[in-house]
Amino acid sequence: MSRARVGIITNYNVINDQYRTHSGGLMNTQAVAEVCDCMPLLIPADPRFVSVEELLAEFDGFVLTGGRPNVHPEEYGEEATEAHGTFDRNRDAITLPLVRACVERGQPFLGICRGFQEVAVAMGSTLHPEIRDLPGRLNHRMPPDGTIEEKFALRHKVTFTEGGVFHQLMGAPAVMTNTLHGQGVATPGARFHVDGTAPDGTPEAAYVDGASGFTLAVQWHPEYNASNDPVSRPLFTAFGDAARDWAAGRAGCPVLKSA
């Protein structure tokens, strides 16, 4: 029996200042294949090559990956500044309407880091350009030095809404996560339901309120060590189940009902 097909959003990169690519991290592919038990397929996030309509027809679910470029501030009604960093307008042009279409159809997606922010913006949220510049906030950015293991080490707690979707999914009121992001959600949109926060109040886990399908998103990177991590595994397992439900024609199967 064929596996459910999960589209993994890629990032635009230039290798050696010359060779242009659409690339995706091996961690994402491995998590989809081994934990979700789905077929991972990379999507070039550029409207010149693919359309949202085609993606919806071809895939059973989507992973909105992390990425260095940030969502352009014009997408949430603000002007760009140097503090916002770099952008990828082609990715914005694919992912934001893709999120909205999936919400409307009940088609599943999992948002990760930049993907978390894409879900937030697609649902009417605004973003802070730099979390660490805000009074009382932690530095959520990736450590500049060290091994991959050190960069993805668990660094802070995320506390979930008691009895909420993430509390039920994880079987715990709080978990430890890594943190590798600069931006963060400022004002959540009406349907962007924040279900978990860092100790400094930064939104870290969310879903789309009232959606009929799986719409979970996290600000951390669960793809790292997903097969073995007790926080990552249930997240990817539930997403894989949702993708299989969609493939089997059981559209609109949310992960859990919030209390």
The series of mean pLDDT values per 10 residues for the chain, 259 residues long, is 94 89 93 98 97 97 94 93 89 98 97 97 95 83 84 91 97 95 93 97 96 97 96 98 93 54
Q: How far, CA to CA in Å, does 175 sit from each of 27, 32, 199?
A: 21, 22, 11
Supply the residues annotated as catalytic: 113, 221, 223
Helix H or strand E segment including 55: helix 52-58
The first and second tokens of residue 170, run together, are 């994880």
What is the model's pLDDT at position 255? 60
pTM of the model as a whole: 0.94
Question: Which residues lie across from 22 on neighbouring strands?
Answer: 12
Please say whether the beta carbons of 144 and 182 come within 8 A.
no
Domain ranges of the chain: 5-247
3-state helix, strand, coil in the chain (%, to 5): 30, 20, 45
What is the model's pLDDT at position 253? 58
CATH class, range 5-247: alpha beta
